[in-house]
Amino acid sequence: MLLALVLPAAADEKFDQDRKAILAMAGEFKVGFYFRETFSLRDDYKPVEKPYEEEAFETVKVVEDSGKRIILQHILLAGPAVVKHWAQIWTYEDTEILEFQGNRVWTTKKIEPAEVKGKWSQRVTQVDDSPRYEGIAAWEHHEQASEWTAQANRPKPRREEKREDYDLLVVTNRHTITSEGWFHEQDNTKWVKREGKEYPLVREIGFNPYTKVKDHDFAKANAYWDKTSAFWKDVRQVWEEFYAAQGSVKVQTKADPGLLMDVVADLVEET
């Protein structure tokens, strides 16, 4: 009887620790985007020598918290520009996740409930709330840090969308939460998948530190979100209904009259 009481209590404590770690990613941060190709996996390819390095500020807002589902929205400040950036959708013991197949196609993978016990999925969406990637794993908590590590396939990043020598990334993502902020580490493999062939091209490491700040002005970002948050809530709902109905999705790079994200951006301006 005592064991039966202790086990649910431990599970509840772990669940609360998980939620605390996820919610700790909300706030105001200075952020860095650092990527470097490390070594080639093909004789005919030479890694890019110049690393990618950018810095900006982001406010991360909790836009939904229903207990077992938490949505965090990133809003980027790059100089005078305000950009609705990526979002994180966290779901506890999720039995359906999206898997990127390449060629702008995502399919739904169903997972047995026993396999997701105690785990959280993280779905990352793009600036127009279309899908990007999703992984699932359990949080690990230490005395002064919490970590979540999962694998996922994802499209080429926008910083390299014009490159034609690879098709997708195979990624191990690690989120680490500390008292200073949080850190997103990426172990990336740039992968070729076309014409019946699949092979790795080159390794890349990525490091995105989110360091807490108290003295930066986020007024423009906050004003943008106050104005547009209701619109983006509707957009998220449309996507969720589409996933439930279709089970898979192919996102066209263009729509009439232009890029999908540009069409959505025009609708935002009308709010």
In the prediction, which pLDDT does 139 show?
98
Q: What is the pLDDT of residue 9?
A: 67
Report pLDDT for 28: 98
Instruction: At 171, list the tokens.
Output: 């990624």
- Mean model confidence pLDDT for the chain: 91
Better pLDDT: 241 or 189: 189
pTM above 0.85, yes or no: yes
pLDDT reading at 255 higher than 60: no
pLDDT of residue 252: 65
Going across the sheet that includes 197-212, the strands are: 131-137, 120-125, 81-92, 69-78, 52-65, 27-40, 197-212, 181-194, 168-178, 146-155, 139-141
- What pLDDT is attached to residue 188? 98
pLDDT bin (cut points 50, 70, 90) of residue 257 is very low
Query: Which pLDDT value is given to residue 251?
Result: 78
CA pair distance 20, 178, nearest whole angstrom? 12
CB-CB contact of 165 with 144 (8 Å): no
Asked whether the predicted pLDDT for residue 10 surpasses 60, the reply is yes
- The confidence score (pLDDT) of residue 11 equals 79
Where in the sequence is the domain holding 120, given as residue range(s)?
Answer: 2-269
Residue 206 predicted with pLDDT over 50: yes
Q: Where are the alpha helices (DSSP H) in 116-259?
A: 219-246
* Lowest mean per-residue pLDDT among 20-34, 59-73, 125-139, 248-262: 248-262
**Chain segment 143-183, per-residue pLDDT in tens:** 999 999 999 999 999 999 999 999 999 999 999 999 999 99
CA torsion sign for 235, 237, 238, 242 is positive
Residue 83: pLDDT over 90: yes
The contacts found for 193-200 with CB under 8 angstroms, 24 or more apart, are: 193/102, 193/103, 193/167, 193/168, 194/102, 194/167, 199/41, 199/42, 200/41, 200/42, 200/170
Q: What does DSSP say about strands 181-194 and 131-137: parallel, antiparallel, or unpaired?
A: unpaired
Number of structural domains, the chain?
Answer: 1
What is the mean pLDDT of the segment spanning 51-66?
Answer: 97
Q: What distance in Å separates the CA atoms of residue 188 and residue 156, rounded to the nearest whole number?
A: 11
End-to-end CA distance of the chain: 58
| Rounded average pLDDT over 41-69 | 97
Q: pLDDT exceeding 90 applies to what percent of the chain? A: 80
pLDDT at 34: 98
Question: Which pLDDT score is estimated for 270?
Answer: 52
* pLDDT computed for residue 172 by the predictor: 98
Choice between 8 and 126, residue whose per-residue pLDDT is larger: 126
